[in-house]
Structure 1
Amino acid sequence: MLEEANYFSKFSKAPVMCKLVGRKVLDGVGQPTLEVEIYCTVKNYEKRICSTVMATHSQIPENVLPEAIEADEKERNDSVLTAVEWVSESLNTMLRDLDPTDQCQADKILGEYFANKKEEKKEIERQEKEKQEKEEAEKVTTSPASCRSASTPKQKKGRKSGKKVSEGGNTIPAAEPAEPVLCGSLAIGGASLAVAKAGATISCVPLYLHAAQLKHNQESPKEITLPLPMVTVLNCEKNSPTKLKLVKEVMLIPPVELSLQQGIERVLEIQKEMTRKSESPVKTPGSRADSRKGKAQKAPPPSLRISHLGCVTTGYDSLEQLLLQMQTACNNIGLELGKDMYLAINCAAHELMDYGKEKYEILTGTFKSPDEMVAMYVEMIKNFPFIIALIDPFRKEDREQWSSICCALGSKCFLIAEDAATQISKLKSDQNINIAMCSGVVLKYINQTKVSDLIELTGILDGQRHITILGSPDRESSDESLVDLAVGLGARFLKLGGLCRGERVAKYNRLLAIEEELAANGAPRKAKLEFVDFAEESQPGQLPDVLPVPEQD
């Protein structure tokens, strides 16, 4: 009987999607986000196949007013509710009876639906603007005072007509406005990722292999290379009482020659030593009675706060103080920076610009022009060569300085654009990456991002010798799909945050599980960290610089 059942099952209809369900859930920091569930018809029965929970990205800066935070939370809640409606109603109907392994067709439907929603939004805004202009025009024509002022226009004393021009003119490009996020856009990214997970489940393969097959036109790659983790160990608040503003995140990158398991264990050792040093009590002079007895009072240890990135939040007064403490922590446990572990620094330079002075504030009260920043970074890498990656050393608008730093430091470290690449929809332009010159790009799966977008974009980046980094958004969920996407799409690095908080640790555990699975199947990881010498790139035969091979434990 069992053989007969298996025989006839071969002729059964292929599974198709029969229902999508959207649901409002909470992310890792208790904020609302979207969950998408997919049901398929399998052998004439409705069966729940998978679900995915979207992570969200906040564009609210650290020192924003409480009113802005409240408005952002309301907008986020409205967007999630709209996304739930889109998934459970419109997208549920549009994707019904579609083969979940047909990612291209599903993403095409999702893209067209989103484009229509954007056009509807533009039309509503246009009508509201016309209505407002009409009302204002009627007020002007019916007001006697406005009639008199219209017939005899007066200017305020001392004011000249024409556009206001700053003294000396602007010497830096103005900040590009943030691209507005369409309310409900989470539905597009959530549905696309859910379809990919459903396709992997129906095909009986892990999501990372399914993503790799989608990228390579349904062919399994000969070898899958695991991305190196960028593990955040310190989150330096830029509005803290300490002086240093140049650094937002400090990340550890283990050597490629180690297994990921060994690398993560080293990171944990360094993290524990950093925490121990931060928590160690400081001896202070006691009272006279205590001093006679030879005793000294101990000051209470400083309270450590774990940020939403899953790491210790702290501050420093100088870059040297920070880096020397990192070196000391490594030396205390027998490790050497630049050999046994490397550093990446997230500068988040877009948060440093003082537009009044047209300079970056790197320390409290210390400002540098964009050109001076180039020289500062060159000196930094010269003094601390164990820093192998700088993320957002400049704003996206400072393209000239991006080019300068790439030519000066491209052969020594990676120059990565993260804030300059937050909007995937703006990255693709005639097969050229629409960003400043850089070594690589941090991609985040947020809002209306589709799996097909990541596949196409990583292919373009690979062709242009950029490195791809998949990054975890600020407000992460417990969904582990980002790790599978990074492995399947061949990302060089994976930026997940710290080794703390369940939603982030779950992703590191998933990465380790994939490494174990690939090792069991005889597919060991082989990778090289190659820098690009932008200054010599045009010369034939120029080989990229490679990090030295450290000794294994």
Structure 2
Amino acid sequence: MEPGGRRRQQQQQRRLQELRREAAQYYQDHRVPQRMEEALNALFPQRPADLYGELANYFSKFSKAPVICKLVGRKVLDGVGQPTLEVEIYCTVKNYEKRICSTVMSSHSQIPENALPETTEADEKERNDSVNTAVEWVNESLNMMLRGLKPTDQCKVDKILGEYFTKKVEEKKEVQNQEEEEEEEATLALTSCTPSATSLPGKKKSAKPGKKVAVAERPIPPAEPAESVLRGSVAIGGTSLAVAKAGAAVSHIPLYLHIALLKCDQDSLKEMTLPLPMVTLLNCEKISPAKLRLVKEVMLIPPVQLSLKQGIERVLDIQKEMMRLLQPPGEAPSSQVADSKKGRARNTGKKAPLKGKYEILTGTFKSPDEMVDMYVELINKFPFIIALIDPLRKEDRQQWSNICCALGSKCYLIAEDAATYISKLKTDQNINVPMCSGVVLKYINETKVSDLIELTGLLDGQRHITILGSPDGESSDDSLVDLAVGLGARFIKLGGLSRGERVTKYNRLLAIEEELAKNRTLREANLEFIAFAEESQPEKQLSDVLPPPKQDSLPPQLSQPALQVHSLPAQHADLGHPN
């Protein structure tokens, strides 16, 4: 052999030995040698195209699982231009830092539409400050606390997030207690310097003898105080959801399947059911002169016999026809009207009705008992109505019990007000939740993925139905759809077929249907109502077990889209376009 050929052979042998040493080093520190591709190219310039791929796949079996290396939080805008939080997740994958995913939280505000300008300005400032605080939490504290954790370990991540949130709540209480003590001390000091006022004798008025006292009707219990929201709490929910998306990404499975496996403790899933969409057909706004105080919005539910794609197409045709009918004569057909919510929560009937009655029309009042009779007559007359959302105020628990006994086997009685208490429903047994067929859950504030998994499991065991609903300030993030599918929600409440951030979610729902149908894992949905006991029942919490549901056959009318009425007692509302 020529000297030049011998030298080349010796060089190749040395390179092969070097490659073996690098491979041995890989087993020690689980790192893929950066020069492996160069070495293979030098040794085997004519090697098969898939040789390196096979080696990489083999070595990847021994690599470390991806772990979180960085969280990035930033302030962005939601679908209605309000500030909200975006969370990005970076993981260390095969010794390299890689951006895995991001999520944008939907903002949720309790600003009433008829609030004074100064109140609105203060609340908007509070919202902005809350998002800034959330960004700070993500970039600093949470970034350090979650570093090195596996994104697939959702329970551990959520436990850390929950403990951090509890710590922040306790810190806020300490500050409030200190401020109250200082205020009390200042008040006592001021009182000690001021002479006390004494009432003059003979000035006290007393009721005249013989005067009849009017017996007041049974009043509706007063509204509960709004749940306080800790500034920055959206960081907890945003980070939990972002980690769930990252866990699905590194596991190479869709988010809905990752959620379903978390809920089922990694048990195999043979079939999955899609939630039925609640599509807003009519929404009550202030732009129309027509006054209607009973109905907040009317929604359509596609027939269960149709595929989701067919059902949405039918609902879309109905929505277009309703838009045409509502168009004033003489005006050219217009595109979808702009949404008027501006990210503010609509007044959900929290004001106490006048005279202890509900105002269903202008100047028309009904007592709680009359409201139940009215709904019974409504359902009997219009069997297409299969669900009533908030037909009564949440605090009127006795009438909730009565309406459930009267209509529970004919339609769903849904409590949406309970959505703001997700974080407390599974821990506080004294939460004032009325008897109902199910609740609307919204992924907001400090809600964590584990919270939804635990709560929906509790609802499933008690034969309640779960509805995943969009918060007020929606974003283009379609994770809500995957959550609804993975959690096994019966319905998903997205609003009308309009606006990009909503259509994105409907398209995601259609894509999941196509994927499940292709994999032959799509199970047909069904509707079954809860048969509550006819006799009067004591007040129950969500933790109480309800009687088993009554298997009723569907009426023939349900081959057409079903109606759902979102009631709004004691609130001004006007009939308008879907939004």
Q: TM-score, normalising length from structure 1?
A: 0.83
Aligned-partner Cα distance in 2 for 1:308–1:22: 29
1:256-267 alignment runs, 5 A limit? 256-267=304-315
Q: Give how far 1:527 is off.
A: 1.6
Aligned-partner Cα distance in 2 for 1:303–1:352: 33
Instruction: Give SS of 2:386's match.
Output: strand
Q: Give how far 1:474 is off.
A: 1.1
Aligned-partner Cα distance in 2 for 1:170–1:387: 30
Match of 1:395 in 2: 393
* CA contact 2:85–2:104 (8 Å) conserved in 1: yes
1:3-18 alignment runs, 5 A limit? 3-18=54-69
User: Which one-letter code corresponds to 1:49 in the other structure?
Assistant: I
> Aligned in 2, Cα 1:154/1:305: closer, same or farther, shift over 3 Å?
farther
1:70-149 alignment runs, 5 A limit? 70-142=121-193, 146-147=194-195, 149=196
Match of 1:273 in 2: 321
User: Which one-letter code corresponds to 2:550 in the other structure?
Assistant: L
Could you list the runs of 5+ residues in structure 1 that have no partner in the other structure?
Answer: 282-297, 311-347
Aligned-partner Cα distance in 1 for 2:148–2:528: 46
Q: Give how far 1:367 is off.
A: 1.2
**Alignment identity in percent?**
72
> Aligned in 2, Cα 1:414/1:138: closer, same or farther, shift over 3 Å?
same
Deviations 1:144-173 (A, max 9, x none): xx22x35x455995568xxxx998486221
* CA contact 1:22–1:88 (8 Å) conserved in 2: yes
Aligned-partner Cα distance in 1 for 2:362–2:476: 37
> Aligned in 2, Cα 1:299/1:196: closer, same or farther, shift over 3 Å?
closer
The answer to whether residue 355 in structure 2 is matched with residue 305 in structure 1 is no
* CA contact 1:309–1:497 (8 Å) conserved in 2: no
RMSD: 2.8
Aligned-partner Cα distance in 1 for 2:489–2:356: 35
Aligned-partner Cα distance in 1 for 2:137–2:114: 34
Q: Give how far 1:355 is off.
A: 3.9
Aligned-partner Cα distance in 1 for 2:61–2:546: 57
Q: Which of these residues, 79, 88, 100, is aligned with residue 28 of structure 1?
A: 79
Match of 2:565 in 1: none
The answer to whether residue 532 in structure 2 is matched with residue 534 in structure 1 is yes
Q: Which of these residues, 358, 361, 366, is aligned with residue 363 of structure 1?
A: 361
Q: Give how far 1:38 is off.
A: 0.5
Q: Give how far 1:307 is off.
A: 2.4
Instruction: Give SS of 2:102's match.
Output: strand
User: Which one-letter code corresponds to 1:307 in the other structure?
Assistant: D
* CA contact 2:227–2:420 (8 Å) conserved in 1: no
Q: Which of these residues, 230, 236, 240, is aligned with residue 192 of structure 1?
A: 240
Instruction: Give SS of 1:98's match.
Output: coil
Q: Give how far 1:272 is off.
A: 0.8
Match of 1:418 in 2: 416
Deviations 1:448-481 (A, max 9, x none): 0000000000000000000000001111011000
> Aligned in 2, Cα 1:208/1:301: closer, same or farther, shift over 3 Å?
closer
> Aligned in 2, Cα 1:448/1:515: closer, same or farther, shift over 3 Å?
same
Match of 2:98 in 1: 47
1:372-521 alignment runs, 5 A limit? 372-429=370-427, 435-521=433-519
Deviations 1:31-80 (A, max 9, x none): 00000000000111110000000002221222222222211111100000
Instruction: Give SS of 1:51's match.
Output: strand
Aligned-partner Cα distance in 2 for 1:102–1:41: 15
* CA contact 2:222–2:352 (8 Å) conserved in 1: no
Structure 1 stretch displaced more, 58-67 or 478-487: 58-67
Deviations 1:248-284 (A, max 9, x none): 1110001111000000000110011011112252xxx
Aligned-partner Cα distance in 2 for 1:449–1:228: 23
Aligned-partner Cα distance in 2 for 1:156–1:74: 51
Count of residue pairs the alignment pairs up: 492
> Aligned in 2, Cα 1:71/1:450: closer, same or farther, shift over 3 Å?
same
Q: Which of these residues, 183, 199, 207, is aligned with residue 255 of structure 2?
A: 207
Aligned-partner Cα distance in 2 for 1:270–1:366: 31
> Aligned in 2, Cα 1:249/1:424: closer, same or farther, shift over 3 Å?
same
Aligned-partner Cα distance in 2 for 1:135–1:7: 73
Which one scores higher on RCO, CA 8 angstroms, separation ≥ 6? Answer: 2
* CA contact 1:252–1:267 (8 Å) conserved in 2: yes
> Aligned in 2, Cα 1:309/1:134: closer, same or farther, shift over 3 Å?
closer
> Aligned in 2, Cα 1:30/1:516: closer, same or farther, shift over 3 Å?
same
* CA contact 1:40–1:46 (8 Å) conserved in 2: yes
